[in-house]
Structure 1
């Protein structure tokens, strides 16, 4: 490997004042031990309301390799990561969270895989016991469903923590969409990929900023970002319901005309109306998700706005 390979470490932060010092101390110790690697630390302050920015400015005095991208408000993690990718200068780039659930000690192994010729080195969570049962279960359901209905395939139990080479970043930076699902975009651009396994730790400090509602919306974003199968499903559901309705209609006609059986109407009508009404609302909601995405994309607004670079 040639000398002075620049590694860009991208760290989106939102209200992470409690972990920044621990993070920098631990990551910098890891980087010091890697031969012929120098690092820049790109922190994207995603509209934090605590002392995150103040602490970053203080840390910069100790670690001059830090670059702070201060966004004008909270745009969300996907936008913050996009900002980091656009401002990264390294030949290799690693996005990582500041909470230290993803161990920085994995970085040397990632770099070794890159030296072997891989453009993407995924950090695969071989054990997620640090997460709650509900989070693990819903994650499995999401990956299974997403990979059934969408292209490309998103690797199971792989987050944003990974190594990507400069060609991969350049490809990602050319993608124009503003509603970004980064796990899908990472998979979509392709390139030669491998993975390394690790066990996810508990958060070093602070609390997760993703609650159940945010995770649900994030999952919907992923399911509608890379395929139209959810729309196509409703064509088949409609055909199935119409077929069943036709059969029931024939049954009622036979009972009334040929057998003289009086068919009570109130209960059956209420069931039919509420059932079909529910199906229609779900179908309209699915259509609305796609229309909403198209509507937001036509506005062509920037993904993020930078207030200041420090």
Structure 2
């Protein structure tokens, strides 16, 4: 890397966060004031419709080294993060949310563990006290299901907030997946890792952009993208049902030969038809999830489109 390149890149995906930019930069400056590393801030605007871009550009006249990538529309946080990693210049990068829920005060500790040899330093939250009871329970259940099915488990209560070494960044940038689930990718690459603990705060400004439906689809992308276990489980279930059906058919045949034909029951017939019809629909749905992801990969459309790039005291 060139000598002029920064040592640490802070990657911040943003979407309609105009009121959060100034508090974020102020807090980051205070938290990182003792670090000796040169720092760049890589903002990725994910199709904001407010004045987020103008607010970030107005901060480029300060002494901070700021890079702004403006995407042509909203591609989603994981795609925006992929754009930030691709354009980060530092020897290490730290993705962080602009809402300050992830504590910048643990970044110096992350840098210390990075200097000690860790290639990935995960930031694990102490608890989820600021989440609703439903979100806490659903997150805990999701992590259990995911890690039971995934080939490479992800650490629970660890989000995108982590330090990633340049060696890891370069590998992540070669991964062409269109259905991005970065937590799984960070786990898949391996390398020596360390962990810091922090207390996640309540959101300082604005409101979350994650609706229940978005979280649901995001979770499915992660589960189906990281594992083929759902297909394998359905194969096992289909095999067991086939054996059970064969045994029942033999039973009916023997009973008919020995005792004659009973009057067929409408209720039992309807129940069997509905049961196997529901199983067929569910199996087709699972296959459809995988086929849809194959279709997305085969089209090979870009993960994101950059409309404009700005850098401190320079416009491109």
TM range (shorter): over 0.9
Match of 1:13 in 2: 14
Aligned to 2:238: 238
SS in 1 for 2:280: helix
The question of whether the paired residues in 2 share the 8 Å contact of 1:31 and 1:37 is answered with no
Please list every run of 5 or more consecutive structure 1 residues that lacks an aligned counterpart in the other structure: none
1:77-226 alignment to 2 at 5 Å? 77-226=77-226
CA distance in 1 between counterparts of 2:263 and 2:226 reads 47
SS of 2:50's equivalent in the other structure is coil
Deviates more, 1:260-269 or 1:95-104: 260-269
Within 1, Cα distance between the matches of 2:60 and 2:132? 35
Deviation, structure 1 residue 254: 4.0
Whole-angstrom distance in 2 between the partners of 1:270 and 1:61: 73
Q: In the alignment, which residue of structure 2 is the partner of 1:266?
A: 266
Cα displacement string for residues 32-54 of structure 1 (whole angstroms, at most 9, x for unaligned residues): 221x2121000000001122112
Counterpart contact for 2:10–2:39, Cα < 8 Å: yes
Q: Give the deviation of 1:63 after TM superposition.
A: 4.9
Please state whether the residue corresponding to 1:244 is helix, strand or coil.
Answer: helix
SS in 2 for 1:40: strand
1:199 CA drift (Å) = 1.3
| Alignment check: 8 A CA contact 2:6 2:40 kept | no
Q: In structure 2, the residue corresponding to 1:127 is in which secondary structure?
A: coil
Q: Which stretch shows the higher mean deviation, 252-261 or 165-174?
A: 252-261
Tell me, in whole angstroms, the C-alpha distance in 2 between the residues paired with 1:121 and 1:60: 29
Contact 2:5–2:90, Cα closer than 8 Å, also in 1: no
What residue ranges of structure 2 are gaps of 5+ in the alignment?
Answer: 311-316
Cα distance in 2, alignment partners of residues 273 and 199 from structure 1 = 53
Kindly state the Cα deviation for residue 5 of structure 1 after the two structures are TM-superposed.
Answer: 5.9
Relative distance call for 1:62 and 1:153 in structure 2 (3 A) is same
1:150-170: per-residue Cα shift (whole Å, max 9, x none)?
121111110000001110101
Contact 1:31 1:38 in 2 (8 A): no
| Cα distance in 1 for residues equivalent to 2:5 and 2:30 | 17
1:101 touches 1:201 (CA, 8 Å); kept in 2? yes
Deviation at 1:145, TM superposition (A): 1.1
TM-score (norm 1): 0.95
Counterpart contact for 2:181–2:225, Cα < 8 Å: yes
TM-score (norm 2): 0.93
Whole-Å separation in 2 of the counterparts to 1:289 and 1:21: 41
Q: Which moved more, 1:6-15 or 1:137-146?
A: 137-146
**2:314 paired residue number:** none
**How far is 1:250 from its partner?**
3.2
- After TM superposition, the structure 1 stretch with the greater mean CA deviation from structure 2, 172-181 or 248-257, is 248-257
Give the superposition deviation at 1:99: 0.8
